Structure 1
């Protein structure tokens, strides 16, 4: 039984990443049983120790600093076309006009709400954004609703779904339609450092899924309509640097960036 830890993320990411692992292992180990562990770990220390507590594989952003160097094997194959690094702003609907005319320097002075332990909090700080890092995703959304925070920035693969999911708690939040923040933020598989065979099976399976079109089909099925709906190619883009990218992905850029 392969233990796949799939917690601490949005439901739409959980669904996609679970299906990617299933697709990959079906190619190389068709009878392999996989446990989809959706346990959330509320603090970074617990999350960073999941491999010491039975986890075999997970998906995370490349270079995630919660995991100590040497405590995992990384498969440097981006899984989601860099979509998670295409960040859309979640704002109060009464402020749409204000945000549509903001420059980058002005945006940096406003407060961005980021849930505690999220890997991109330090990235925003390095890029000189005013970060309020605390609480859960739900609590940060309510803070924007109550104007205790100015905005959140969520992946284009999840922004609309999260606004809809929490509409009963934050009914005045919308996805801002004109801006996008971009930083290279590829999702990759991390494996237990002793699970070389599992890593090899996933790597081979992913290669086969890319060659036969199944990975592209899954992306389209999960995210295609949402990506088209948010008009990524028609937005103003503010570029941020990502200081935690590992050397294998140092020059990575999403294929979804406007040209």
Structure 2
């Protein structure tokens, strides 16, 4: 009887250990779709393969908006999230301070209405741009950057609304990172939208991975894996071989665009601006 009880307890203990091991090797992220989100997930898979080859990634059952996503990370139901940096995120989470997309989010070209290109042909300076209204998400980090530079901004909470608001004339242009507008316009053929041809708005901006504030182990795992992928060249290989990035770099025509620069006063003092290998340099492309 005692022997059977001991064997039962041993089996329970073994099952608990196995369950714990399975859970520890699984990373839960938000439910995402689309080319740009797939690229971030591919980068996450790459860096985890360097620091923990056994880990698996599972998507949450539903796609969560930003506010709920943050809550679920704090509760431990989601392990990793990613977003453009802002002070709120820096204070609320642990930041893996390596730009996921090489600062690509700070290189902006515009989605505009098809009949409005002539309006933008006359934009040569920041003062010229300030005569027009941008459209942005209310909680996006770059919205604060534009406002701080006195660029007029019309906002909405829901990302899909911005395309319809633009077509409806609520604002003049929708600034997008250079890898975003082509597919966004193509996926909405019913709307009278196109990509502006002459201007690129540039400011320092990074998208980072974030983890729960006390999850030091995962933070170290992500940081270590990212550094390994940068050092062995596999990150650059993945990034520049991505079809979305290749198309964006080809279509943007950097040398033909007027570059308008604005500062980003919200950049954290620990931002690794002294590491050029982490950032996109359009002049070298």
Partner of 2:97: 76
Tell me how far 1:202 sits from its aligned partner: 1.4
Matched positions, count: 252
Contact 1:48 1:66 in 2 (8 A): no
Contact 1:47 1:66 in 2 (8 A): no
Contact 1:85 1:182 in 2 (8 A): yes
CA RMSD across the alignment: 2.2
Partner of 1:214: 234
Partner of 1:178: 198
Partner of 1:98: 119
Partner of 2:253: 231
Please point out which of 79, 85, 88 is paired with 2:109. 88
Partner of 1:144: 166
Please point out which of 80, 83, 102 is paired with 1:57. 80
CA distance in 2, matches of 1:68, 1:189: 11
Deviation track 1:132-172 (CA, whole Å, cap 9, x = no partner) reads 0114222111121122211110000211111112223x1x2
TM-score, structure 2 as length reference: 0.81
Deviation track 1:179-214 (CA, whole Å, cap 9, x = no partner) reads 000111112221112221111111221122122222
Going from structure 1 to structure 2, the CA distance change for 1:50 and 1:183 (only over 3 Å counts) comes to farther
In structure 1, the gaps of 5 or more residues are none
In structure 2, the gaps of 5 or more residues are 1-25
Greater C-alpha radius of gyration: 2
CA distance in 1, matches of 2:258, 2:145: 20
Tell me how far 1:33 sits from its aligned partner: 1.8
| 1:118 paired to 2:143 | no
CA distance in 2, matches of 1:207, 1:67: 22
CA distance in 1, matches of 2:203, 2:270: 16
Partner of 1:242: 264
CA distance in 1, matches of 2:153, 2:103: 23
Q: For residues 16-31 of structure 1, what are the structure 2 equivalents within 5 Å?
A: 16-31=39-54
| 1:129 paired to 2:129 | no
CA distance in 1, matches of 2:199, 2:113: 15
